[in-house]
Chains A and B, each alone.
Chain A
Amino acid sequence: MWRPGGKPACVTRDPEAPAFPHPHLLGIEGLYPWEISCLLDEAEQWVEAGRRARKHDGRLAGLTQINAFFENSTRTLLSFEIAGKRLGADVVNLAAGSSSLKKGETLLDTALTLNAMRPDVIVIRHESSGAVALIAEKVDCPVLNAGDGRHEHPTQALLDALTIRRRKGRIEGLRVAICGDILHSRVARSNFHLLTALGAEVRAVAPPTLMPAFVERLGATAYTDMAAGLEGADVVMMLRLQLERMEGAYVPSTREYFRAFGLTRERLRAAGPDVLVMHPGPMNRGVEIDSAVADDIQRSAITEQVEMGVAVRMACLDVLTRARRGEG
C-alpha cells in the first residue's frame, strides 16, 4: 500500500487499529514507524524459536505458500522456504527457469494461474520495479515482495534492522553508512525508508556513477568519498557490486573499485569503535569487502543477518496471514 510522502510528522498510532493493517507487504515506503517496529517485535520470538532443536510451529498448517521467483535467487528463496516450513505451511516454489513466462505467458496470466490454485500467501521476486505491486492487484491473497527490480526488498531491510537492533539495542540516533552500488540496489532503497523512519542518520556512500539522483530526498546524505562517509559510523552496510557493471562504464575495474570503495580494516578505522559490518550477500570478497573484515566475528554481522532473515520472514508470513486464519 503506497502512501505519498515520507514520514508524516504528526500522525500517531490509532490504538484500536491492528498493529499491521496492510493486506500486503510490497515495500517499506509509506509504512509508519510503529508498523515497522511491530514486525521487528514479532520476529524476536522466531529468533529464539530458531535456536531450539525443535523449530516447528504449526500456526500456518494447512495454508499454501507459493514462492514465485521470476528472478534467480538462492538465499532469499531458501530463507522464505524455511520460514514457511517452520510455521507449518505447505510451501511450493516456482523458479524462473521452469516458469511458463519463458514460454511467452504474460506476467498477469501467470498471476491469475497462481491465484487459481488458491494460495494463502504468495512471495514474489521479479526483475522489474513495480511488478510485485502489479501482481498483488490481481490476486486474492497477501503478497510479500521479495525484491522487485531496483525498487524495494522490504524483508531485507527488516532483517537488517533486526540485526542492528539486537546488536546495538536501538536504531534511533545511530549513524548508518550504506556503501556501494546504490543506484541499482533495492536493498539500499528499502533501508533508506526504514532506517530514516526509525530515526537513524543514513549515509549513502558510492562513486558518483552509482549514486541515484536526489538520494537526499529519500533521507540519506550522499558521500562520494568513502573515508568521509564512514566517519563515526555505527553501522557499515556494504552492497554487492554486480560484476557486469564494468560493461556499462559505471566503474573501470574491480581493482580500482576496491581501492576506492572496498571495505578494509584500515578504512574501517574512521568508523566508530564498535562499528557493525553488514552485507546482504552474496559477497564479492576482494571487490567490495576484504575477507579480514567479513570474517571478523567481533564486528561482522553477516551470518547473523542470514539468521535474522528467517525470523523476519516468519514474522511477516504470520502477520499477513492472520486475517485469513481468523486472528485479524
Chain B
Amino acid sequence: MRPILIRNALLVDPATGKEQAGDLLVAERAIADFGHGLAAPAEAEIVEADGQVLAPGLIDATVFRTDVAAAVAGGITSVLLMPDQSPPLDDPALVERAERLGKPRLWVRPLAAATRGLKGRELAELSLMKEAGAVGVATGRAAIADAQVMLRLLRYAAGLGLVVVSHAECPFLTAGAVATEGEHATRLGLASAPAGAEALQIARDLRLAEEAGAALHFACVSTAEGVELVRRAQARGADVTAGTAPAYALLSETALIGYRSFARLSPPLRSEADREAVRAGLADGTISMLVSRHDPRTEEEKRLPFADAEPGAAGCATLLALGLSLVHDGLLSRAQLLALLSANPARRFGLPGGALERGAPADLLLFDSGSPWRIDADDLPGLAGNTPFDGLPVQGRVRLLLKGGERLI
C-alpha cells in the first residue's frame, strides 16, 4: 500500500486537546509519524491539507443500523451498534456476525442485548457475548421496566467490567406517547408523556448502579432535569456518563408543527429550556458523547400520520456538520467537539482510536470546517434520508477519510 503524506494540516488530538499545525505520514496502515516538515517517502501520495483539520476518525457511540455509506460520508470509522437488530443481539453468534458487517470500511462495535430478546426479563449471555466482541451491554430502545432485573443486570455487568447503556425513559409513563407533554402536543392532539419520564428513569438507574457499583451510560439525555441528575451524580463520584444527539441540542418540540414525521424521535423532542440545558451539559462535559442515533427509515415507515410513523432519524452523514454548528455557535471548542465524537466514547468503552498516536491504526479524518452545504433529505448518503434537519444550511465537509490507511474519501 502506498504511504500517504498529509501536508499542512491542523492536527487535533481530541484525547489531549492539543492542536498543532503540521504534517502526518501514514504507512503500513498506521500513523507512522507526525510533526513539522516531514519528508515524503518515495512513491508516497501527497495530500495538501491547506490548514484543514486532521483528526482521528469519528466514533459514533449510538447507531441502530449498520449503514456503511452514511458512516463513511460522515467521517465515521467506528460505530457502537445498538442491540435492537432483527433478531436482537442476544446471542454470541449474532454479536460476532454484527461485528463483521461493516468491514473493511467500518468497524462495528456491537452492544450486547441486556436481556433475551430485549424483553427486559431474563439476562442474556453477557459473558459469552463479551468474548464474541460486545463492547458493552445495552437495554436498547427501551428501558428495563423491572427494577429487580435492572439491579441484577448492573451487578452482573459490573462483574464482567461491561458498561451498561440504558435508555432513559420510564416505559410506563411513555407508553403510547409520541411527544413531550406541553403546549405543542396539546395543540396537535398528540399523545404525550411528561419530560419527567426521563428524570424518573435516570434517578432509578443511577440509584441501582450506585448500589451495584456498576458503570452506567445513558445513551441519550434530552431534558434539563436529566442533565442535572447526571451532573450531580458525576460530582459525587458515580461512574456515570451520558450521550445526546444533535437534535436535542438544536431542535425543540416546535419542529413537530405540521406533523413532520421526520421529527418523530425517541426520546421525543423537548422544550426550549431542555434544549438549552442539553447545550449547557455538552459545554461543561456532563454529556460526554455526541451520537447520531442513526436510524434510517423507509418511506413506508415515515410517510404516515405522525403518531403512526416509526420514531428515529438518519444521523451519521450529518453528525459532524451539525456538531460543528455547536463550534460555530461558540458553545464548544473544536477539540471539545472532536472529543465528544471520538476520544470520549473510545475511553469509556475501551476502544482503540480517538487519539493521534504513532503506531495507531490510520483511522483518520480530514475536514474543512467552513465550507457551506445544505442538508437535503432526498440526497443524503446511506440507506435513507429521514432527517429532521432537511433544508438546514450547515458548514463542514469531509475531505479525506482513511480507514486502516485505506482511502475511503
Contact = CB atoms under 8 A, between A and B. Distances in A.
B300 interface: yes
Contacts of A218: 186-187
B190 interface: yes
B306 A2 contact: no
Contact of B257 (A4, A152, A212, A215): A4
Contacts of B372: none
A150 B177 CA distance: 13
A64 to B, nearest CB: 25
Interface string B181-193: 1110111111110
Interface stretch (A8-16, A88-96, A122-130, A234-242): A122-130
A189 B181 CA distance: 16
B211 interface: no
B258 interface: yes
A133 B181 contact: no
Contacts of A108: 303-304
B259 interface: yes
Contacts of B132: none
B51 to A, nearest CB: 43
Contacts of A215: 186
A149 B182 CA distance: 17
B183 A213 contact: yes
A128 B258 contact: no
Interface in A119-147: 126, 128-131, 133-134
Interface residues of A, number: 26
Contacts, number: 73
Interface string B301-339: 001111110000000000000000000000000000000
A106 B299 CA distance: 11
Contact of A133 (B182, B186, B190, B259): B259
Main secondary structure of the interface of B (DSSP, over half): loop
A2 B181 contact: no
Interface in B164-207: 181-183, 185-192, 194
Given A106-B300, A128-B306, A131-B305, A151 B188 contact: yes
A213 B182 contact: yes
A60 to B, nearest CB: 29
A164 B194 CA distance: 36
Nearest to A211: B186
Contact of B189 (A2, A106, A129, A213): A129
Nearest to A6: B187
B189 A186 contact: yes
Given A213-B192, A218-B187, A2 B307 contact: no
Nearest to B178: A129
Contacts of A152: 189
A130 B181 contact: no
Given A2-B257, A106-B300, A130 B306 contact: yes
Interface in A192-229: 212-215, 217-218
A189 B189 contact: yes
B252 to A, nearest CB: 14
Contact of B307 (A4, A29, A129): A129
Contact of B305 (A126, A189, A212, A213): A126
Contact of B190 (A29, A129, A217): A129
Contact of A107 (B183, B185, B191, B304): B304
Contacts of A133: 258-259
Nearest to A214: B183
A134 B186 contact: no
Contact of B186 (A4, A106, A128, A213): A213
A259 B359 CA distance: 78
Contact of A128 (B187, B300, B305): B305
Nearest to A134: B305
Contacts of B190: 129, 149-150
A217 B189 contact: no
A12 B251 CA distance: 33
A218 B187 CA distance: 7
Given A4-B257, A106-B300, A128 B185 contact: no
A129 B306 contact: yes
A130 B188 contact: yes
A128 B308 contact: yes
Given A128-B306, A129-B188, A2 B182 contact: no
Contact of B185 (A2, A4, A134, A213): A213
Given A106-B300, A129-B188, 6 more contacts: A128-B307, A131-B305, A131-B308, A150-B189, A213-B181, A217-B186
19 contacts: A106-B303, A107-B305, A108-B304, A126-B305, A128-B305, A129-B188, A129-B259, A129-B305, A130-B189, A131-B305, A131-B308, A134-B303, A134-B305, A149-B307, A150-B189, A150-B190, A150-B191, A213-B181, A217-B183
Closest 6 CB pairs between A and B? A130-B259, A151-B189, A150-B189, A128-B305, A131-B305, A214-B183
